[in-house]
Every structure is written in structure tokens, then in C-alpha cells.
Amino acid sequence: MAYQLDNRPLDLRERFYFPEVIRGIGTLAGHFLKNLFFSRDANPDILARPRGFARSDNVTLQYPEEKAPYPPGYRGLHRLVPRQDGSPRCVACYMCATACPAQCIYIEAGEVAGDPIEKYPVKFVIDELRCVVCGFCVEACPKDAIRMDTGEHAPPSLERSGQLQDIKALLRGPAVSYLSDPWLRRPSPSIPADQLAAMKATARPYHADADDEYASTPGFSVRALAAEARERAARAGAK
């Protein structure tokens, strides 16, 4: 439905502007007094703070000393998922850097010694100031090597260099292995035989529909979105 625009000419009262200015000052003063002496938001889920008369109940947080809990679907800081041996799952294919609309990912690839096929990231840097938190890098990665499931916000810094996350800062979290990982299906000169057998024993089978719920960005699961669509369709049909 199109918006109905009020194109009528200004009347005499509006041409003087002073009545409208006074009315605006009254609206501003009303909000100011309400925020100063009463509760700004009556919803207790906004912030669990004391509320009542003659108390300033503004919901401003003194960040970073005070932090509000993030919702379950929040996309936190990136992390590189490690293998069982501690090395990154990343194979330096550049798919995340290619899919990134902000061009905030920088990768330098290197060859694994004794293996003419496998590559690894010599450098992996993410500029968190340029990141638009779209999650395209997570969706584009074919090896589940990068996730946004930390639930953490970018730390405050006084310099731009403090927002550059290198491979040392990114490589963390629980290790993940899949039976389809190529480094588990062929002999690897960098992994001892006994450690390779242990990694195969703890590896998970990859889903046949190529949708691993463990690898999905929180809040953007394909199955969850499909379930929500079915629920909306059922509610619409019930009406």
C-alpha cells in the first residue's frame, strides 16, 4: 500500500513556526523527565536494573566494564576451527576471501612439506573494522574451517591495528574432524600414523544433504529456517 502524503500548504500557525517549536520542546522535555525519574523501558528483559520513582533507570551500559548478554542468533567474532592436531582446518582455498563483500580477509597460502596437494594458510588476517558480519565466509568455506560462533564482540581498541585478528588470535575453540577430510583419507607426512588413527576414530560423518548443523552460523540454520517457514504456513492455513 502506497503512503498517503500530506501535500497541503502550511496554515498560518505553522508558518510562524513558534507553536511547533514550543510543542517540540514540550515533547523533548517530557521524554527527558520520564527517563530521569521513571523507567525508560518496562520490559525487564532489556536490563535487570532497579526501577522505580526518583531513580535513573537509563539502560546505558558502561561498556566494556558492563556487558549485556547477546541473543542466541548473534554472530560473534570469527574463529578458525582447529584439527585434532591443533593445526587449522583451513586449506587456503581463498573461497571465504572471494565471497567476502567487504574484502576484509587476507590469506597467504603455503604448501605442506612433503605433500604436493595440500595447502595451509601462512597468513590469515581478518580486519574486524571492515567486517559487515554477513556470515558469507562461514557459508562459503568447504572445510568448516571458519565459524562465527564465539558469542564475543570485537574488543575495543585505540588503534586500528588492534582490530586485525591474525591466525594466532583466530585459531581457537574445540577441534572438529570429518570422515570426508582429505588429510584423513590419504597418508600424511605431517601426521604420525597413531595420531592419524585417533583422528579418524573421533571424526564425524558428514551429512548427506551437505548441511552440517554444527557448522552452520547460529541463527541461520537451513533446517531451522525451513521449520519456521512451515510453522508460518500452518498458522496462515489455520486462519
What is the per-residue pLDDT across 21-55, written as a single tens digit (0 to 9) for each?
Answer: 898 999 999 888 877 776 555 555 555 555 555 55
Instruction: Return the pLDDT at 10.
Output: 80
**pLDDT number for residue 52:** 58
Question: Would you place residue 222 in the very low, low, confident or very high pLDDT band (cuts 50, 70, 90)?
Answer: low
Tens digit of each residue's pLDDT (9 = 90 or more) over 54-113:
555 555 666 777 777 777 777 888 999 998 888 899 999 999 999 999 999 999 999 887
What is the pLDDT, as a whole number, of residue 198? 81
- 30 — alpha (psi -120 to 50), left (phi > 0) or beta? alpha
CATH 3.90.1150.10 fits 79-221, yes or no: no
What is the structure's pLDDT at 185? 74
Give the strand order in the sheet containing 119-127: 105-111, 119-127, 164-165
Residue 126 has pLDDT above 90, yes or no: yes
Given a cut of 90, is residue 236 above it in pLDDT?
no
Q: What is the pLDDT of residues 144-202, one digit of tens each?
A: 899 988 888 888 888 888 899 999 999 998 888 887 777 777 766 667 778 778 878 87
Find out whether 79 and 150 touch, Cβ atoms under 8 Å.
yes
Domain spans in the chain, listed from the N-terminal domain onward: 12-60, 79-221
Grid cell at residue 172:
581457537
What is the per-residue burial (b if ≥16 Cβ within 10 Å, else e) of 176-187?
Answer: bbbeebebbeee
- What SS3 class is residue 42? coil
Question: What is the value of pTM for the model shown?
Answer: 0.61
Percent helix, percent strand, percent coil in the chain, to nearest 5? 30, 10, 55
